[in-house]
């Protein structure tokens, strides 16, 4: 399948012709300049941010200091009968732990949501008694994370857990409100390297604290990164350089696990690529696939990547869609390789890979809605358990048909944004592949509010060709957020409405399906899409 470059335990094999881009990166000395943390590389406007965001290039070496204290804390927890880890965190503060947890089968509960049902499900008494909660936030002020922390605190107290502050492990940057709170209430505290942005923080305290507490051998992950780091400036095989050129090569990159041992890296890489590269009206759109050769994997406008743990570089994808690039190697090496590659792609595309200028807009809209109330909206039509907004159609099938028509133009992509429970409502994600089968456009799936910290940046800051489908749903059991005058359902609805306003202000088509009964509504959506040709 074209050429393979392998070094430091990781192999990148690709049929995409990236020779010119790789030559440019080499001629401009980009690998050496990134290794030397040269903040001038992405231009004068990016310099100030880059100066405080390049720590990830080697900070994993310092991360070794975490290994012993984390082993001790895990043993202390075990002595107290605490053997389950829940993680409250969004975006870069939870996506790397999720990949590590899935790859090593650690069973960490990741709460990157405001869906009340998903949170209530974590608060059962039996599970609470054996749970420690890692609260991870670089800024210390992310609303979802803060709300989740408050819910756990109240729940621990509610079931009579003594000294509940000691059930919390905070991971944050020095000087944040979370650091202050940890010190005030006596919770466990791990401070992260402030010179690493959230999406580049996999091998810092953010990636390692929750996973080590759940039993991961994080020393091994660090060693894998260290081995791979020896290749950064290689004049010979340089897999990260090739991967960077591949990421920059086409408007879209689709990503699937190849089934050889790294599970779910696509969700993490999605945030890294979307927030780093989706801005200034350009960038690469990442699309996470359900598996090898899923619908919409390949196409002239996209690079299809598979990721696996085996270092043989042999793809296991079906003959239906052979990958354009195969990235094989252990997880620690994968993290560093994709981070380097994204920074290189930013250089090639001419984008600052360290800021996320459009993320705040939806957050500000949400805050305003929480203060002033939800905007008055009436559905255009009601079809069974589904209210339809933002469409001229009277049926779900008709409205989905409009989505396909809107996406029937060069450069368009479809984004389905589901503010639902990604565990209980998981079946609805089948909509992505169904839409992908029926259109030539890339189709990306996002669970709200999780995607707001990932592809949300691209949708508002990248190429303005998105066709959006927003899904919201009635809530069964709501949950108060202690100390706040809104509930989780209120926050979730305000986030959906805030993002809707941000997208609509760009005059992008957005149809919203509100499920008045989630199970029935999901069945209806899936049934309706299958009726479309």
Ligand X SMILES: O=P(O)(O)OC[C@H]1O[C@](O)(CO)[C@@H](O)[C@@H]1O
> Contact residues for ligand X (CB under 6 A)?
90-93, 137-139, 142, 145, 198-199, 275, 356, 359, 453
- Are the beta carbons of 516 and 474 closer than 8 angstroms? yes
Q: How far is the CB of 335 from ligand X (least distance, A)?
A: 15
In the complex, least distance from residue 192 CB atom to ligand X, rounded to whole angstroms: 9
Residue among 359 and 418 whose Cβ is closer to ligand X: 359
Contact 170, 182 (CB under 8 A): yes
How many Å apart are CA 421 and CA 359, to the nearest integer?
22
Q: According to the 3-state scheme, what is the secondary structure of 195-209?
A: CCCHHHCCCCHHHHH
* Structure token pair of residue 533: 């040709």
Strands, E assignment, 384-491: 386-389, 413-418, 443-447, 466-473
State the helix-helix crossing angle for 518-531 and 396-406, rounded to 10 degrees: 60
d(CA 75, CA 124): 24
Q: Which is nearer to ligand X, 87 or 489 (CB)?
A: 87
Report how far apart, in Å, the C-alpha atoms of 223 and of each of 229, 248, 331 are: 10, 28, 10
Secondary structure element (H or E) that encloses residue 388, with its range: strand 386-389
CB of 135 to ligand X, least distance (A): 9
Residue (85 or 245) nearer to ligand X, CB: 85
Choice between 317 and 449, CB closer to ligand X: 449
- Please identify, using beta-carbon distances, which residue of 137 and 328 lies nearer to ligand X: 137
**CA distance linking residue 461 with residue 469, whole number of Å:** 18
Taking the complex as a whole, the smallest distance from the CB of residue 308 to ligand X amounts, in Å, to 25
Rounded to a whole number of angstroms, the minimum distance from the CB of residue 33 to ligand X is: 24
- Rounded to the nearest whole angstrom, what is the least distance from the CB of residue 100 to ligand X in the complex? 16
- Is 419 or 513 the residue whose CB approaches ligand X more closely? 419
Q: Exposed/middle/buried for 505, CB within 10 Å: 0-12, 13-18, 19+?
A: exposed
Q: From the CB of 137, what's the least distance to ligand X, in Å?
A: 3
The smaller minimum CB distance to ligand X, of residues 281 and 357, is found at 357
In angstroms, rounded to a whole number, what is the distance separating the alpha carbons of residues 531 and 419? 24
Least distance (Å) between residue 75 CB and ligand X: 27
Q: Based on CB atoms, which residue is closest to ligand X, 93 or 114?
A: 93
Can you tell me which residue has the tokens 């090569």?
Answer: 249
């Amino acid at each position: 399948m074209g050429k393979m470059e392998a070094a430091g335990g990781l192999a990148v094999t690709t049929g995409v012709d990236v020779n010119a881009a790789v030559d440019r990166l080499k001629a401009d000395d980009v690998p050496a300049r990134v290794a030397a943390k040269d903040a001038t590389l992405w231009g004068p406007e990016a310099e100030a941010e880059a100066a405080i965001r390049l720590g990830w290039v080697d900070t994993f070496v310092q991360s070794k200091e975490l290994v012993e204290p984390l082993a001790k804390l895990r043993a202390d927890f075990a002595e107290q009968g605490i053997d389950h880890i829940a993680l409250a965190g969004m975006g870069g503060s939870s996506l790397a732990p999720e990949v590590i947890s899935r790859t090593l089968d650690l069973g960490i509960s990741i709460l990157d949501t405001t869906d009340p049902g998903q949170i209530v499900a974590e608060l059962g008494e039996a599970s609470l008694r054996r749970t420690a909660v890692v609260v991870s936030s670089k800024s210390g002020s992310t609303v979802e994370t803060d709300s989740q922390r408050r819910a756990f605190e109240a729940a621990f107290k509610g079931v009579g857990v003594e000294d509940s502050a000691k059930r919390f492990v905070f991971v944050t940057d020095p000087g944040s409100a979370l650091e202050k709170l940890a010190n005030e209430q006596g919770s466990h505290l791990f401070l992260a390297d402030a010179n690493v942005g959230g999406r580049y923080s996999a091998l810092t305290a953010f990636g390692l604290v929750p996973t080590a507490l759940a039993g991961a051998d994080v020393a091994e992950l660090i060693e894998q990164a260290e081995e791979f780091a020896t290749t950064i400036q290689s004049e010979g095989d340089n897999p990260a350089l090739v991967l960077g050129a591949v990421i920059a090569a086409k408007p879209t990159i689709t990503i699937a696990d190849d089934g050889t041992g790294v599970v779910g890296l696509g969700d993490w890489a999605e945030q890294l690529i979307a927030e780093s590269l989706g801005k200034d009206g350009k960038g690469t759109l990442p699309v996470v696939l359900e598996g090898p050769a899923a619908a919409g994997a390949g196409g002239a406008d996209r690079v299809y990547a598979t990721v696996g743990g085996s270092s043989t570089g042999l793809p296991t994808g079906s003959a239906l869609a052979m990958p354009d690039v195969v990235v094989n190697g252990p997880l620690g090496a994968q993290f560093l390789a994709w981070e380097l590659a994204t920074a290189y792609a930013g250089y090639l595309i001419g984008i600052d890979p360290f800021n996320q200028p459009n993320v705040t807009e939806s957050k500000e809209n949400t805050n305003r809605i929480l203060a002033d109330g939800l905007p008055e909206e009436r559905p255009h039509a009601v079809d069974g358990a589904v209210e339809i907004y933002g469409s001229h159609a009277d049926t779900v099938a008709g409205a989905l048909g409009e989505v396909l028509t809107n996406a029937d133009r060069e450069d368009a992509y479809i984004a389905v944004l589901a503010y639902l429970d990604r565990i209980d409502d998981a079946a609805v994600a089948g909509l992505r592949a169904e839409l992908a089968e029926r259109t030539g456009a890339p189709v990306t799936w996002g669970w709200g509010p999780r995607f707001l910290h990932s592809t949300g940046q691209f949708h508002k800051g990248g190429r303005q060709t998105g066709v959006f489908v927003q899904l919201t749903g009635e809530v069964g059991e709501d949950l108060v957020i202690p100390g706040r005058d809104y509930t989780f359902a209120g926050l979730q609805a305000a986030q959906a409405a805030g993002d809707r306003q941000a997208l609509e202000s760009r005059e992008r088509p957005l149809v919203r399906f509100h499920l008045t009964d989630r199970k029935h509504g999901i069945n209806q959506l899936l049934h309706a899409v299958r009726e479309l040709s």
